[in-house]
Amino acid sequence: MKVLIVDDDALIRDGLKILIELEADFEVTGTAANGQEALEMCQKQRPDLVLMDIRMPVMDGVLGTKLIKQHFNTIKVVILTTFKDDDYIKEAIRSGAEGYILKNQPADSIIESLRAVGKGNTVFQREVVSALSTMLKDEKKPPVKLGLSDREQEILGLIAEGLSNKEIAERIYLSEGTIRNYTTGLLEKLKLRDRTQLAIFYLKNF
């Protein structure tokens, strides 16, 4: 497997190169110091996999990954970094990287991760996943069937946008009184007291 190493720190580049080339099934085709260079080298060398640092001058790893993915969609990218920062993780996943692993782990572990990625999987380090799991959206409880009619649903939604009864009436061509009646019905059905609670309910449950 042909690997491109990207890191702004020459020492790390060289260290990784030596480590990886110890493995019979790996070959390091080159090294780059930032996303920009990485992109150029992908053009020339067509590696199978890019091992990418995040924080680098000129062009960081996230953008680098996005661009590489965009131009060469068969090239896998593994982010190898010291930061288990939430935002980086999220961005990395969105950018399409196949891995997000930290520099604090032993070489053989990194190698195995690269092999798994080579086989088409995606690898994260445990700590990274736990960080991730707290970022998961809370249950959007599937359509909490609450016997609301279409009209009621619609009006509830508009209330949750912050519209007044009059505005809602104008928006959907009904009289203000009718909207008031619907509001009363919604409050009754949802066992709430006022429109603010309706809005809160809606935002929390839909």
Size of the site for a copy of itself (CB under 8 A): 44
- Closest to a copy of itself by CB, 115 or 151: 115
We find the least distance from the C-beta atom of residue 171 to a copy of itself, in angstroms, to be 15
Does the footprint of a copy of itself cover residue 19 (CB under 8 A)?
A: no
We find the least distance from the C-beta atom of residue 198 to DNA, in angstroms, to be 7
Over the window 145 to 174, marking each residue x when it contacts DNA by CB under 7 A and - when it does not, the resulting string is: ----x-x------------xxx------xx
Phi, psi torsion values for 44, nearest 5 degrees = -75, -45
Q: Which amino acid is at 185?
A: G
We find the least distance from the C-beta atom of residue 170 to DNA, in angstroms, to be 11
Instruction: Tell which one of 73, 74, 120, 173 touches a copy of itself (CB under 8 A).
Output: 120
What residue 132 binds from a copy of itself, DNA, none (CB within 5 to 8 A, per partner kind)? a copy of itself
Partnered with residue 25 across adjacent β-strands are none
C-alpha 178/C-alpha 171 separation (Å) is: 13
Which class for 88: exposed (0-12), middle (13-18), buried (19 or more C-beta within 10 A)?
buried
Instruction: Tell which one of 19, 29, 67, 105 touches a copy of itself (CB under 8 A).
Output: 105
200: Cβ–Cβ under 8 A, 6 or more apart, which residues? Answer: none
DSSP secondary structure code for residue 137 in this structure:
P
Residue 157 CA neighbour count, 13 Å, CB half: 10
We find the least distance from the C-beta atom of residue 183 to a copy of itself, in angstroms, to be 11
What residue 67 binds from DNA, a copy of itself, none (CB within 5 to 8 A, per partner kind)? none
Q: Please give the full DSSP string across 87-112, using - where no structure is assigned.
A: HHHHHHHHHT-SEEEETTS-HHHHHH
Does the footprint of a copy of itself cover residue 67 (CB under 8 A)?
A: no
Does the footprint of a copy of itself cover residue 177 (CB under 8 A)?
A: no
C-alpha 41/C-alpha 3 separation (Å) is: 11
Residue ranges that bind DNA, judged by CB under 7 A = 149, 151, 164-166, 173-175, 177-178, 180-181, 183-184, 187-188, 193-196, 198
